[in-house]
Amino acid sequence: MYKGILLSVVASIFFGIQYFYATKIDLIGEVDIFLWRISICFIFITLFIFFSRNKNEVFKIFRIIKNKPIFIIGILFSSSLLALQQWLFVWAPLNGKAMNVSLGYFLLPISMLVVGRFLYKEKITLLQKIATCSALFGIFHEVYMMKALPWEALAVAIGFTLYFIIRKYLKINSLAGLWFDLLFFMPVVLFMASRGNLSIDYFYLDVFLFFKVVVLGFISAIAFMAYIASSKKLSFIVFGLLGYLEPIFLVLASFAIGEKISDEKLLTYIPIWISVLFLIFEGILKIIKNRIEYNNKY
């Protein structure tokens, strides 16, 4: 379990870096940044898969598609949901909506907890219950302050939950499944490129611009691979609750790009930070317990 927690932390850190880094790429519009990021991320993940054991999972999914062509519909839906999330991730910080999307990532763990508890019948530990109650206090306060939930927040919370439900149902909750999600989106990238997007003309205006875009794709690939790997090693509930790490880093990224948090919003973020501390504490206890059991056994 601790490996899953570590991977989740790595993913959250890299997602936060990516959130901030995208705002530092000048000369390129948000659509082109999104398309370049997805394309280069796909290349890096492809290289990783085909130089590792994960390529066997890719061939397995190809065989499933060959035997059950209707399987493609599920992957198309999964791919569309992922594309929406990634577009929001790039669009929000460039349009002053970073806080709205961050709220969505605060709502996401609660959404996944509800699904894990009632759809998959997973058990919730005492510390997880305390963490959930603390986070809910912060979320209710945020909703009260905003008087309504912004559509960006709902798109993240509902969209990502559906994404993981579909992946679990299709049994493609692996890096190979992510590769197919990106592969199925490539025709859209090519179509947008044919309409004038994904141009290389602006690379002539800044000799370092292409390097910056490649780094963005690499950061995305690391974040994605760590995120998917952690989802395989953790229960739906624990994976969801650890999602509170990501919005914390997104909020820090929001501060870095100039957005501010008011004193009133402290009642939103402090309970959520306390929630994360409870989850970290539980993770530490489990690591200690596993180490003691291992020492006693050997």
Span 121-165, pLDDT tens digits:
888 888 888 888 988 898 888 778 877 778 888 899 899 999 989
Q: pLDDT tens across 76-112, in order? A: 999 999 999 888 877 887 787 877 887 787 788 888 8
**One-character DSSP codes across 20-41:** HHGGG--SS-HHHHHHHHHHHH
At residue 48, does pLDDT exceed 90?
yes
- pLDDT score for 162: 94
Higher pLDDT, 294 or 32: 32
At residue 1, does pLDDT exceed 70?
no
* Assigned token pair, 275: 């929630």
Mean pLDDT of 211-230: 91
Helix (H) or strand (E) holding 15: helix 2-21
As a whole number of angstroms, the distance between CA 38 and CA 197 comes to 13
Mean pLDDT of 196-206: 72
Per-residue confidence band for 298, with pLDDT thresholds at 50, 70 and 90:
low
Taking a C-beta distance cutoff of 8 angstroms, is the pair 197, 32 a contact?
A: yes
Q: pLDDT tens across 228-262, in order? A: 888 888 878 778 777 777 767 767 776 776 767 67
Per-residue confidence band for 179, with pLDDT thresholds at 50, 70 and 90:
very high
Q: pLDDT tens across 11-20, in order? A: 888 988 887 8
As a whole number of angstroms, the distance between CA 199 and CA 80 comes to 23
- pLDDT score for 236: 80
- pLDDT score for 180: 94
- pLDDT score for 294: 66
Per-residue confidence band for 279, with pLDDT thresholds at 50, 70 and 90:
confident
At residue 43, does pLDDT exceed 90?
yes
Nearest by Cα to 192 from 29, 70, 10, 20: 29
Question: The pTM is what?
Answer: 0.81
Q: Is 206 exposed, middle or buried (0-12, 13-18, 19+ CB in 10 A)?
A: middle
- pLDDT score for 45: 94
Mean pLDDT of the chain: 83
* Assigned token pair, 197: 């997007």
Mean pLDDT of 189-198: 77
Per-residue confidence band for 114, with pLDDT thresholds at 50, 70 and 90:
confident
pLDDT > 70 fraction of the chain, expressed in percent and rounded: 94
At residue 276, does pLDDT exceed 70?
yes
